[in-house]
Amino acid sequence: MKLDSIEIQLKTLPQVAGVYQFFDSKDNIIYVGKAKNLKKRVASYFNKNLENHKTKVLVKKIKRVENIVVESEMDALLLENNLIKKYKPRYNILLKDDKTYPWICLEKTPKPNIYITRNLKNKNGEYFGPFTSVKNLKILLRLIKEIHPFLNHELNHLLKINSKESSTLLFKKHENSIKELIKGNFNFCITHFKKEMKIMSENLKYEEAQLVKEKILSLKKFQAKSTIVNPKITNVDVFSIVSDENYGYVNFLQVSYGAIVRSYTLEIRKKLQESNSTLLQLGIIEIRQKFSCNAKTILLSEKVSLTKELNLFVPKQGDKKSLVDLSLRNAKYFRIERFKQIKMLDPESHAKRIMNQMKIDLRLPEEPFHIECFDNSNIQGSNPVAACVVFKKGKPSKKEYRHYNIKTVEGPDDFASMEEVILRRYKRLLNEKAPLPQLIIIDGGKGQLSSALKSLDFLGLRGKISILGIAKRLEEIYFPGDKIPLYLDKKSETLKILQRARDEAHRFGIAFHRKKRSKNSIQSKLDQIPGIGEASRLKLLRDLKTFTRIKSASENEIIDILGNKKGKKIFETLKKY
């Protein structure tokens, strides 16, 4: 099965908002769609129970799927619109016409004005948008004109604004406030309305208070502008890169006339551990040649050196930075998809890559294909137990899990318990000449780690097996002889494996502790009943399992287990308890 086969792609698509593109055998885009959840939406096309004939024909022609990840459903809708108008896919009907989404135009001259438009040709206007709801836009404009009445020219005679100069001065005074409202920064306005609503309610003006409440709800529902379309950013190319130890992933977003019209991610294999800037430089050259790009402005996630004819920027904030962030987001999701595909097609290679990453992250002398993790469990020193779980190639090997009853420790002493279980485990492995792990994980901080090291020193294994402790609170990773803990990225695969091993050891140990505590509790109750010795107790527990069932058993059941004479005597005694 090829890496790009439809079946593999469907299983590895991200479950986020975005736009999907279907390609035919000639690599032409035949359909563009939007989705709140890309994985679920695209998978629905390959449902065997499709009823629509057109959809069945479309699905038969799909040879490849590509996706572009965005921040929200609104962004997905806008990007879908851009791509349909550019590529005119055969199976798209809606949005193929010249209809565009509405914008707000803020006109400064000849007279301050604010209005909704689908035409972006007014040179005197500043445009905000696009937006997906004309209804919400009309509500917003009414609110803005209510807060800033000088923009409502029909009322200017009542406000005694008799000249363009007067309204221009008022506009300059309130320009920033108007722009913030358009952008969706309504906090100060909402606070004002809440105070007004409270005063109206106190004065028993409930109908007027309700109208103000509706304004507040409208403001809260109103969405700010999208990063998908921005008239301030005309024709630019956006490039970003993420990488791992073997590959770099260069994402490209093409912005034409203020709209994103293309996304593409290039996978580059490292040969000599090239830096991100080197890989990004190679990727930019190849991608621009592939798509015949002629934009003179390039936005980047990090600095590179290219020809002097190009204007290169690494934006730190604002709309341009949002575009670079969107590009980085797509590069990261592409990398995740690739990892999932490799994991399905070549699990050995996937496991080796993760083990190699663990070796680098944890500064280990060798790849930890065999990991063992330990945890103690007790309640105030009672029924102390320990658990050892084994991971092979990053996956649990449950047949090798082991439980331990703590034998030499009295009272609640986690450190001594850890010392005992490590000694017992590896003394046995040495005696049996069994393979030792490459990494030992201790559930706990410095104290538990130091106790485990005492046992390794006693057995002469220190330095032969790597060992670390992982503390729960902040996921600090402690190494022998190092006072300062290591903090890994919360999303790193290395930390996830450490956490999984730690949590599995905790689960396995807790389950054993509960079982032992329950058994001891039953035994202690039976020990208090006269006439029940060791043999009788074992027989009752074997057949009836719990003290409750033993107590509620009939006389015949007890006689069947213990015999006629003893059974009758024990049955009569159980009635008193």
In the predicted model, what is the mean pLDDT of residues 321-344?
A: 89
Using the 3D structure, point to which of 33, 58, 87 is the last residue of a domain.
Answer: 87
Using the 3D structure, point to which of 87, 117, 147 is the last residue of a domain.
Answer: 87
The segment with the largest mean pLDDT, out of 127-136, 213-222, 467-476, is: 467-476
* CA dist., res. 12 & res. 127, Å (int): 39
Confidence of residue 340 (pLDDT cuts 50, 70, 90): confident
* Residue 367, pLDDT above cutoff 90: yes
Residue 266: which of 275, 257, 279, 276 has the closest Cα? 279
395: left (phi over 0), alpha (psi -120 to 50) or beta: beta
Amino acid 466: pLDDT = 93
The segment with the largest mean pLDDT, out of 72-76, 141-145, 465-469, is: 465-469
* Residue 491, pLDDT above cutoff 80: no
Buried-exposed string 361-392: b where 16+ CB fall within 10 A, e elsewhere:
bbeeeebbbbbbbbbbbbeeeebbbbbbbbbe
In the predicted model, what is the mean pLDDT of residues 339-344?
A: 81
* Residue 191, pLDDT above cutoff 50: yes
Residue 228 lies in a domain: no
* Residue 365, pLDDT above cutoff 50: yes
Using the 3D structure, point to which of 290, 316, 343 is the last residue of a domain.
Answer: 343
Residue 19 lies in a domain: yes
Of 93-97, 336-340, 375-379, 476-480, the poorest mean pLDDT is in: 93-97
Confidence of residue 224 (pLDDT cuts 50, 70, 90): very low
Amino acid 100: pLDDT = 66
Amino acid 319: pLDDT = 82
Q: Which residue has the higher pLDDT, 511 or 177?
A: 511
Amino acid 298: pLDDT = 93
Residue 227 lies in a domain: no
Do residue 364 and residue 501 come from a single domain? yes
Do residue 386 and residue 510 come from a single domain? yes
Do residue 368 and residue 509 come from a single domain? yes
* Residue 233, pLDDT above cutoff 90: no
Instruction: Give the CA radius of gyration of the chain.
Output: 35
Do residue 167 and residue 305 come from a single domain? no
Amino acid 159: pLDDT = 46
* Residue 397, pLDDT above cutoff 80: yes
Percent of the chain with pLDDT over 90: 27
Domain ranges, residue 369: 359-515
Confidence of residue 228 (pLDDT cuts 50, 70, 90): low
Amino acid 510: pLDDT = 84
Do residue 406 and residue 427 come from a single domain? yes
Looking up tokens 């490209």 gives: 252
Amino acid 6: pLDDT = 81
In the predicted model, what is the mean pLDDT of residues 246-252?
A: 91
* Residue 302, pLDDT above cutoff 90: yes
Amino acid 379: pLDDT = 56
* Residue 94, pLDDT above cutoff 50: no
Q: Report CA torsion sign: 139, 143, 146, 149.
A: negative
Tokens describing residue 239: 């490039």
* Residue 277, pLDDT above cutoff 60: yes
Do residue 120 and residue 209 come from a single domain? yes
Residue 520 lies in a domain: no
Amino acid 417: pLDDT = 86
Do residue 265 and residue 386 come from a single domain? no
Amino acid 566: pLDDT = 79
In the predicted model, what is the mean pLDDT of residues 280-295?
A: 90
Residue 245: which of 333, 360, 332, 331 has the closest Cα? 360
Residue 302: which of 333, 277, 267 has the closest Cα? 277
Amino acid 545: pLDDT = 67
Amino acid 223: pLDDT = 42
Amino acid 536: pLDDT = 75
* Residue 165, pLDDT above cutoff 60: no
Amino acid 552: pLDDT = 78
Residue 231 lies in a domain: no
In the predicted model, what is the mean pLDDT of residues 457-475?
A: 89
* CA dist., res. 22 & res. 254, Å (int): 19
Amino acid 97: pLDDT = 47
Contact yes or no for 284/302 (Cβ under 8 A): no
Amino acid 184: pLDDT = 61
Do residue 506 and residue 369 come from a single domain? yes
Do residue 364 and residue 502 come from a single domain? yes
In the predicted model, what is the mean pLDDT of residues 271-295?
A: 89
In the predicted model, what is the mean pLDDT of residues 490-513?
A: 87
Looking up residue 56, the CATH number of its domain turns out to be 3.40.1440.10
Do residue 363 and residue 502 come from a single domain? yes
Q: Torsions phi, psi of 126, nearest 5?
A: -110, 130
Percent of the chain with pLDDT over 70: 84
How confident is the model over 510-556, as pLDDT tens digits? 887 677 766 555 455 566 666 677 677 677 777 776 767 777 788 88
Cα–Cα separations (whole angstroms), residue 4 to 128, 247, 331, 353: 40, 17, 17, 20
* CA dist., res. 449 & res. 373, Å (int): 12
Residue 349 lies in a domain: no
The total of structural domains in the chain comes to 5
* CA dist., res. 176 & res. 182, Å (int): 10
Across the chain, mean pLDDT equals 81
Sheet holding 259-269, edge to edge: 259-269, 247-256, 236-243, 297-300, 311-313
Do residue 493 and residue 549 come from a single domain? no
Q: What is the largest CA-CA distance in the chain?
A: 115
* Residue 99, pLDDT above cutoff 60: no
Residue 391 lies in a domain: yes
Do residue 428 and residue 485 come from a single domain? yes
Confidence of residue 326 (pLDDT cuts 50, 70, 90): very high
In the predicted model, what is the mean pLDDT of residues 155-159?
A: 48
Amino acid 23: pLDDT = 92
Residue 230 lies in a domain: no
